[in-house]
Chain A
């Protein structure tokens, strides 16, 4: 504030009238980065393909409207959602697209990375994996989805959970990966690894063209962790 007063009531430096614009711009940057818990602005992003992004947003809205159809406060099964214990805490919605990992003729690994800043300062409320199956021929086909965790003892991966599906036709499938992402958020490099195993005839579930709108993605909801609060008596 260049000698401006420090306002005791609101804990904010009171900009002295006539403060140079650059100083105010620097204050704006610092304020946003601090609130997002970012040490510095992220580098130039690699945006997802437009088709994949639009498809993901449509799926997310469709998922959300399913719950909106029911009276406020009532879930489809009649249960009343628990009130968010962290009412008033800053919430985040994260959309993460898959990175293709190693693959064989009948399996492929997908990686979903989460930033350390978010992982270190938030807790996961829920996380959902969206997968699109392009079934080449009619009939029911077995598919296996494995959630893998990094093995603390070595470079390998350990099986965290396994889900078997019977896929009858092309379409989207969703899978709750909340527990897996929740446990990741306590680790050094939060990266979710998903292994898909399909019938040999299908080939890879990943679209050949990355611009394809059926790229797998994860949607996670998180909220700021509570810091240790000191209550003044």
Chain B
């Protein structure tokens, strides 16, 4: 997958970091200092369906041509996460117990077209 640049139009990963200080949560969340709430955005034209970002191999390039030519099924393709990882949190619960947990699939590492 690729990361969004300033003028990216195609499917890419947009980075977005939430600093827990900024939202006043640093008192009950011990670690980490923030949350990478990255998200996927951008266009997924038909010929890019199934591509994790831009084509890299000859085989994929040929496949694209075939798909672009056969506009039979004008089906939209979505820009979605293709790789995610857990968010490890260490926090105080409301009884001031210390709790550690790994929330699965919370951080988007890469995006692609369905």
Contacts and interface: CB of A to CB of B under 8 A. Distances in A.
Interface stretch (B15-23, B52-60, B63-71): B15-23
Contact of B96 (A7, A25, A48): A48
Interface string B77-95: 0111100000101011111
A219 to B, nearest CB: 10
Contacts of A12: 39, 80-81
B110 interface: no
B23 A25 contact: yes
Nearest to A220: B97
Given A14-B79, A29-B23, A93-B101, A35 B96 contact: no
Contact of A96 (B97, B101, B114): B97
A8 B35 contact: no
A9 B80 contact: yes
Interface stretch (A38-46, A143-151, A202-210): A38-46
A117 B93 contact: yes
Interface string B8-47: 0000001010100011010110000001010111000000
Contacts of A46: 96
Nearest to B77: A9
A178 to B, nearest CB: 16
Contacts of B87: 32, 35
A17 B98 CA distance: 37
Given A10-B78, A10-B81, A44-B28, A28 B18 contact: yes
A95 interface: yes
Contact of A114 (B16, B97, B102, B104): B97
A154 interface: no
Nearest to B82: A10
Contacts of A97: 96-97
Contacts of A48: 96, 98
B103 interface: yes
A198 interface: no
B2 interface: no
Contacts of B89: 32, 36
A55 interface: no
A114 B95 CA distance: 7
Contacts of B35: 28, 32
A120 interface: no
Contacts of A28: 18, 23, 35, 37
Contacts of A15: 14, 39, 41
30 contacts: A10-B81, A14-B41, A15-B14, A15-B41, A25-B18, A28-B23, A32-B87, A32-B103, A35-B87, A35-B103, A36-B101, A41-B25, A42-B93, A43-B94, A45-B28, A46-B96, A48-B98, A90-B102, A91-B102, A92-B99, A93-B100, A96-B95, A97-B96, A113-B95, A114-B97, A115-B94, A117-B93, A117-B94, A118-B93, A118-B99
Given A15-B14, A88-B104, A90-B102, 11 more contacts: A9-B78, A25-B23, A31-B106, A32-B35, A36-B101, A42-B93, A48-B96, A48-B98, A53-B98, A90-B101, A97-B96
